[in-house]
A and B are shown apart, each in its own frame.
Chain A
């Protein structure tokens, strides 16, 4: 922790957290006094689908390779929108996977694994 002259590593985070708690309390108290706009309804479909799709990418990139990781990312991510058609997202996933290989691996020469490990 330390003193103001010789601040330890925890000095500033400690102070900041107190300020944050104070602001939180203020914000809560204010909610009793002021009538704010009512909260919007939560539509959980987009956040869950997007989070899952990125999680799949994180899981797949070093195990299944770039092509499958992108394909899965796009197909799962497409579920976030209610307007998506099935064949459309598959085609989009395939073409985006090929395009990413062309741009990132061939053109920019980033070292990335293309296929599931152990295939080639």
Chain B
């Protein structure tokens, strides 16, 4: 316990160095920016910024990327409240009541409640990670290859729960991701695998062109296909401060939203979006006056906003302790860590304590910065909403191209970017979500290694995965999850959740 406290103070000192504070601020600013702008989410942004992190020390890079992720949760609510378009997937439910509040002339208090709920949740989630992550990492150190393999199977199955559309397609995306990750030189024998004799492929497909193509370029093409015209409803925003009645109403929702978000964030496949939907549904159920929801209830803003921020932060726990990314943004951060030669997993805490504790502690600073960035500067962000997409996407293209090219000075990777961009667009068009593919691509090499090692140790006996108790439990959990998705009632609920999208 005191140990954790001491480490946390160390982390605060690392995060408080001027350079790390600067990158935290940059991350928070970019996060708010992309959160505000509809059509550009944290996944695409983190994918675009991956090449830049190469030039930074790993701690600063991750502090910045993390700031983008939870910063986007703050910014997303601004667009949701003022324009009734979710700037971010996780603020879809904030539209319902937040925009109604804005229509009733209460845009200011709605924005303030959203920011303050996020701040409280962010603080709580930070301490939650600090207390919860170390024991989990110690547990993970006991894992052998069989357990690890089963854990990754569970993580991938869980990713399907969140994927939209057909389950078969989602499974197919996972297998395709694993397959793509197998391209390159085989670790054990040094043989070239499926490189088609192309020398650039001997190191495997680059993570950056893959992620950037699927998420950033695919998204750009998709957005161009459906030009959306945005209309900012609220003009000047006055009296930001909420009333005493608002505060009184929000205490319960914020507390419950934070706890719920923190719990859902840890689940593989969880994160900000799931948390906000669940928190809104919970408040509506618990409320004595459920009719008020959808008509500008302040609780309907407080609960999802606290939950999505808590969920965004706690979804770092599985990455830092087990090495399993819970959602695509976290998968990209796993990619960023690997670019720096750090293998995400239980070893991060012991081998790179600076990184581990510095990252966690930076979230405290980041959340404070975000409230400052968001409330007083709100007019500035509203102004940005008026920049038309046609002026805005070419800049993204430039950023992607230069980023991919400079990473290895490789024209081949730019060509890969085109391929994956078109692929990403086709996937979106056909209702296959690229997120499971990217998760599988990140986990693929680890899975193969652990599978081979486990089978080598057991002399080719595949039953080893069932004989080890932890491994068996994890596999059973994965099967249970798969059955749950197939159940008609759950399937219906899953469909309904995404219907509001």
Contacts and interface: CB of A to CB of B under 8 A. Distances in A.
A8 interface: yes
Contacts of A61: 401, 405, 411, 414
Contact of B411 (A8, A30, A37, A58): A58
Interface in B193-232: 193-194, 217, 220-221, 224-225, 227
B429 A40 contact: yes
B171 A23 contact: yes
Contacts of A73: 394, 397-398, 401
Where chain A touches its partner, the secondary structure class is helix
Contact of A89 (B394, B406, B460): B394
Contact of B193 (A9, A39, A83): A9
A62 B391 CA distance: 26
Interface stretch (B98-106, B137-145, B182-190): B182-190
Contacts of A26: 168
Contact of A12 (B182, B422, B462): B182
A78 B394 contact: yes
B175 A23 contact: yes
Where chain B touches its partner, the secondary structure class is helix
Given A80-B221, A93-B394, A54 B175 contact: no
B295 interface: no
A44 B405 CA distance: 26
B393 A77 contact: yes
Contacts of B448: 12
Contact of B224 (A4, A39, A80, A93): A80
Interface of B: 55, 166, 168-169, 171-172, 175-176, 178-179, 182, 186, 188-189, 191, 193-194, 217, 220-221, 224-225, 227, 388-391, 393-395, 397-398, 400-402, 405-406, 411, 414-415, 417-418, 421-422, 425, 429-431, 448, 451-452, 455-456, 459-460, 462
5 A-B pairs with the lowest CB-CB distances in the bound complex, closest first: A9-B186, A5-B460, A46-B224, A4-B460, A58-B414
